Amino acid sequence: MDLNSVAAIVVPRERDDLRKWEPGDAWLAGGTWLFSEPQPALRRLVDLSRLGWPPYQITDDGLVVGATCTIAELDRLELPGAWIAAPLVGQCCRALLGSFKIWNMATVGGNICLALPAGPMISLAAALDATCVLWTPDGAERRMAVVDFVLGSQQTALAPCEILRCIDLPVAGLRRRTAFRQISLSPNGRSGALLIGTLDAAGAFILTVTASTRRPRQMSFPNLPDAATLHAAIARGIPDTLYHDDVHGAPDWRRHMTFLLAEEIRSEFQGRAAVDGNAGFDGSASA
Ligand SMILES: Cc1cc2nc3c(=O)[nH]c(=O)nc-3n(C[C@H](O)[C@H](O)[C@H](O)COP(=O)(O)OP(=O)(O)OC[C@H]3O[C@@H](n4cnc5c(N)ncnc54)[C@H](O)[C@@H]3O)c2cc1C
């Protein structure tokens, strides 16, 4: 759609250019949301595509995903075999049900900063304990967990003029076993609930709830909990008022699906543990 209030597009080439921020500016990443609805408050778009940020880097410490990495680039990424969480990357990319045009333009940073409850890059990053690296206008940077960065539907901890530079996914998260569940009201609809469970080598279990809630919620357990313990932890950790309400799902449906999908994830891990000969149960939880 034409954005009639926008009078200029600025194309910075280096970090110093980003400091020339003015009221009415917006960072332009893939533009798949910015150009999808009227933006009457905007006067300029600051195009991030020429900053030359690498889409990703694999290091000894983990995976660094540049904010301008597209969903399509991330989906094509081949990760080291020891990073057994790798299938989760593709599962989360495919939870963004856009056409190939959207996939090739939409960026990881744009998805996280837009902070829709159905943002699958938020789900991926939160579940794998990723950290946001934010560039601040004074030339410094600050870091915060993705799970803390998203404050609510289309609300983040970004201050004016701050920019998300990249997300850091630590090796420890990438080495966890994962289980993924997602549901939408319609076959091509946005996620109404997207839950990810992870289990580390010591048996610690973390459940990350997204899409059904306005912001990500995580519940941690020293071992795989039993069904009643998991149910109680979700009931305690997610107040009814936190369930999201929009055309993609009513709060009571999202709440119901959250409990159902969480139990499916728990059962999946329980089944795998039985096959491995290691039940690894514990009733305790910290949410
Ligand atoms: C058909 C269709 C289906 C979609 N499905 C989904 C879906 O399932 N889930 C979902 O979450 N979204 C969905 N979207 C919305 C949107 O396309 C995606 O969220 C996409 O990932 C946004 O990324 P982008 O790079 O296009 O962001 P843009 O549209 O360029 O920007 C989005 C917002 O983030 C800000 N921003 C971008 N990059 C940065 C940065 N590095 N630092 C700070 N701020 C930044 C922008 O200023 C803007 O406010 C869909 C859109 C369409 C058209």
* pLDDT exceeds 80 at position 136: yes
Domain regions of the chain by residue span: 8-46, 56-168, 179-276
Say if ligand 1 is within 6 A of residue 163 CB. yes
User: Which ligand 1 atom minimizes the distance to the CA of 36?
Assistant: 53
Say if ligand 1 is within 6 A of residue 27 CB. yes
Query: What pLDDT score was predicted for residue 284?
Result: 41
* pLDDT exceeds 90 at position 94: yes
Give CA angle at 272 (145, 97), nearest 5°: 50
Query: What pLDDT score was predicted for residue 277?
Result: 67
Say if ligand 1 is within 6 A of residue 189 CB. no
User: Which ligand 1 atom minimizes the distance to the CA of 113?
Assistant: 34
pLDDT tens track for 151-177: 999 999 999 899 999 999 999 999 999
Best residue among 44, 91, 96 to mutate for probing ligand 1's pocket (most ligand atoms within 8 Å of CB) is 96
Give the closest residue to 121 by CA, choosing from 71, 166, 161, 87. 71
Strand ranges inside the chain, DSSP E:
8-10, 25-28, 44-47, 56-59, 62-66, 131-135, 141-145, 150-152, 155-156, 163-170, 177-184, 191-199, 205-210, 217-221
Class of domain 56-168 as given by CATH: alpha beta
Question: What is the homologous superfamily of the domain 179-276 according to CATH?
Answer: CO dehydrogenase flavoprotein, C-terminal domain (3.30.390.50)
CA 195, CA 91: separation in Å to the nearest integer?
Answer: 11
> Rounded to the nearest whole angstrom, what is the distance from the C-alpha of residue 102 to the centroid of ligand 1?
9
Say if ligand 1 is within 6 A of residue 44 CB. no
CA 194, CA 212: separation in Å to the nearest integer?
Answer: 7
CA dihedral 241→245→249→251, nearest 10 degrees, is: 20
Best residue among 18, 32, 97 to mutate for probing ligand 1's pocket (most ligand atoms within 8 Å of CB) is 32
Lowest mean pLDDT among 26-30, 89-93, 216-220, 279-283: 279-283
Contact yes or no for 43/24 (Cβ under 8 A)? yes
Q: Phi and psi (nearest 5°) for 124?
A: -60, -50
> Rounded to the nearest whole angstrom, what is the distance from the C-alpha of residue 107 to the centroid of ligand 1?
7
Say if ligand 1 is within 6 A of residue 67 CB. yes
Best residue among 27, 134, 155 to mutate for probing ligand 1's pocket (most ligand atoms within 8 Å of CB) is 27
> Rounded to the nearest whole angstrom, what is the distance from the C-alpha of residue 234 to the centroid of ligand 1?
29
CA 167, CA 245: separation in Å to the nearest integer?
Answer: 28
CB-based burial, 212-250: b 16+ in 10 Å, e otherwise? bbbbbbbbebebbbeeebbeebbeebbeeebbbeeebbe
Query: What pLDDT score was predicted for residue 278?
Result: 55
pLDDT tens track for 247-284: 999 999 999 999 999 999 999 999 987 777 654 444 34
pLDDT tens track for 8-39: 999 999 999 888 888 999 999 999 999 999 99
> Rounded to the nearest whole angstrom, what is the distance from the C-alpha of residue 32 to the centroid of ligand 1?
6
CA 235, CA 6: separation in Å to the nearest integer?
Answer: 45
The amino acid present at 167, given as its one-letter code, is I
pLDDT tens track for 171-215: 999 999 999 999 999 888 899 999 999 999 999 999 999 999 999
**Mean pLDDT, the chain, whole residue set:** 94
> Rounded to the nearest whole angstrom, what is the distance from the C-alpha of residue 190 to the centroid of ligand 1?
13
User: Which ligand 1 atom minimizes the distance to the CA of 33?
Assistant: 29
Is 241 in a helix, a strand, or coil? helix
Query: What pLDDT score was predicted for residue 282?
Result: 44
DSSP 19-44: G---TTEEEESS-TTGGGS--TT--E
CA 190, CA 192: separation in Å to the nearest integer?
Answer: 6
CB-based burial, 101-113: b 16+ in 10 Å, e otherwise? ebbebbbbbbbbb
The number of residues making up the chain comes to: 287
Contacts of 247 by beta carbon, 8 Å cutoff, 6+ apart: none
Indicate the DSSP class of residue 249. B
- The protein residue whose alpha carbon is closest to atom 18 in ligand 1 is 111
Distances (CA, A) of 149 to 35, 76, 126, 154, 201: 24, 26, 10, 11, 27
The amino acid present at 155, given as its one-letter code, is Q
Position with higher pLDDT, 18 vs 229: 229
